[in-house]
Amino acid sequence: MPASAGAQPEEIVELADQAVTRRRHRSVWARFRRHKLALFGFIVLVILGASAVFAPWLAPADPNRTNIRALTQAPSRSHILGTDSAGRDVFSRLLHAGRVSLAVGLVAASISSVIGTAIGLTSGYFGGWIDSLLMRFTEYVMTIPTFFALIIMVSLLGPSVFNVMWVIGVLGWTGKARLVRGQVLQVREMDFIMAARAVGAKDRRLVVVHILPNVIPFVIVAATLTVAGAIITEASLSFLGLGVKIPIATWGNMMTAAQSLTILKTQPWLWVPPGVVIALTVIAVNFLGDGLRDALDPRHQEKV
20-34, 160-174, 184-198, 269-283 — most confident range = 269-283
Handedness of CA 293, 48, 228, 112 (dihedral sign): positive
Among residues of the chain, what percentage have pLDDT more than 90? 18
Long-range CB contacts (< 8 A, 24+ apart) of 245-250?
245/159, 245/160, 247/63, 247/64, 247/88, 248/64, 248/100, 248/161, 249/63, 249/64, 249/93, 249/94, 249/96, 249/97, 249/100, 250/97, 250/100, 250/101, 250/104
Query: What's the pLDDT score for residue 4?
Result: 47
Q: Is residue 279 pLDDT above 70, yes or no?
A: yes
pLDDT value at 114 more than 90: yes
Residue 35 CA to residue 166 CA, distance in Å, equals 33
Could you tell me which of 2, 54, 5, 17 has the C-alpha nearest to residue 208? 17
Residue 3: the pLDDT is 47
**Interval 185-239: pLDDT, tens:** 888 888 777 777 777 777 787 888 778 888 888 888 888 888 888 888 888 888 7
Kindly report whether the global pTM for this prediction surpasses the value 0.85.
no
Quickly list DSSP for 145-168: -HHHHHHHHHHHH-S-HHHHHHHH
> What would the mean pLDDT of 125-152 be, rounded to a whole number?
87
pLDDT tens per residue across span 81-107: 888 888 899 999 999 999 988 998 899
Domain architecture of the chain: domains with CATH: 32-60+81-303 (1.10.3720.10)
Whole-angstrom CA distances from 119 to 129, 144, 146 are: 14, 18, 19
Q: Which residues pair with 83 in a beta bridge?
A: 89
Burial class (CB in 10 A: 0-12, 13-18, 19+), 147: exposed
> How many Å apart are CA 288 and CA 106, to the nearest integer?
14
Q: How confident is the model at residue 66 (pLDDT cuts 50, 70, 90)?
A: confident
> By percentage, how much of the chain surpasses pLDDT 70?
88
